[in-house]
Chain A
Amino acid sequence: MLKDLITPENANVFVGKLGDILEKAIDKPLGYAINWGRIWSLWPVHIETACCSVEFGAASSPRYDVERFGIIEAFGSLRQCDLIVVQGTITRKMAPRLRLVYDQMPEPKYVIAMGACAITGGLYFDSYNVLPGIDGVIPVDVYVPGCPPRPETLIQGCMLLQEKIKRMKARKIV
């Protein structure tokens, strides 16, 4: 019966269908596994942009210790990083550099906008040299408000990002 259905002409259609079914069956657990791996080893880039970096530093201090949530302290090269925590104000001089850093990072990459300045310009809404938020420069995943956000808030932001990654598609299906 199957023999009748599959002719040399439509064989590749069947193979394609079979592939789809297989992918659907495998993708979910596989994607889950990949995402699970990603969320527990987020490497932030070492890029400080303004005063919020003080609280970012405090978040990796012994009392708050973001490392237990899988956010590794910011060391190392940006080629092995997958998270930018934009720590505050982005000035007009810094904006091209921020984009450059973002472009050089390998996919997948996530962005946390930390502090009122990175979200809307904050206190510096009317300054001549400050961008009104970084969404115009790079896409943002999680906003962490505060001026500066307490380390607990930053940790919560990171956990929100982890929630978000869990629900993301791990691989692009063509």
Chain B
Amino acid sequence: MMSDDSEKPVADPKPDTKSSPPPKPDTKSSPPPKPDTKSSPPPKPASKKPEEKPIELPAFEKGISDKLVEKFGDKVEVGFVKKDRVRINISKENIHKVAEFVRDALNYDHVESVTGVDFPTDKEIEVVYHVGSYTDSSLARQILVLATRAPREENPIPGQDSTRLPSIRDVFYSAEFGEREVFEMLGVYFEGHPDNRRLLLPEDWADLPPLRKDFAIKGR
């Protein structure tokens, strides 16, 4: 099913939304996880130093991020553009649409890993998808990093509180086990995921989700 889409050419400009032609300034060395200085959902680096002579961004990777910015305007924010790695920060309402666009127009076809990172100071949990491509040989060494954030609650009841994200399992099937793992390890419920069950932890686990920062391992 996926590869039917991927037979399309790589460049699919989709000139429907010409809202924001100028691409956002891609700060090359923007460090996304900086859990102490941020409060807004997309991790914008607080120290926004105006780099007068921009460091040369890799052209191909810049093209990918430009396409996304062109399509979605300011709904997406470019985290960094490095060699072979592009990071896009997306709010949780748009993650599904962006994932669909990434699959259909940009030819990415599988999720390599789904990672949850807890940021207690921001009261948010970040979920990061690393998306790659097998079918398009020009993308073989590229990893597109889609990052989104869910609100975090102090006393989590996994599955019932507001820590929710839309699942992209119906876009990228390969995210299925990864999302299940994030659900049990961080308590992020994925709406639309048909199988939000426990995967790795014991059946009788009743503690906090273990990868949250306030879950301390013994003796530390």
Residues of A within 8 A of B (CB): 91-93, 125-129
Contacts and interface: CB of A to CB of B under 8 A. Distances in A.
Interface residues of B, number: 10
A126 B210 CA distance: 13
B216 to A, nearest CB: 9
Interface in B197-220: 201-203, 207, 210, 215, 217-220
Contacts of B220: 126
Tell me which of A91, A125, A127, A129 has the highest count of chain B C-beta atoms within 10 A of its own C-beta: A129
B201 A93 contact: yes
Contacts of A93: 201-203
Contacts of A91: 202
Contacts of A92: 202
Interface of B: 201-203, 207, 210, 215, 217-220
5 contacts: A126-B217, A126-B218, A128-B217, A128-B218, A129-B201
Question: What 6 A-B pairs come out closest when comparing CB atoms?
Answer: A93-B202, A92-B202, A126-B217, A126-B219, A128-B217, A128-B210
B12 to A, nearest CB: 46
Nearest to B215: A128
A126 to B, nearest CB: 5
Nearest to A93: B202
Contacts of B202: 91-93, 129
Nearest to B207: A128
A36 to B, nearest CB: 42
Nearest to A125: B219
B217 A127 contact: yes
Contacts of A128: 207, 210, 215, 217-218
A141 B217 CA distance: 30
Contacts of B210: 128-129
Contacts of B201: 93, 129
A92 B207 CA distance: 13
Contacts of A129: 201-202, 210
A91 B203 CA distance: 12
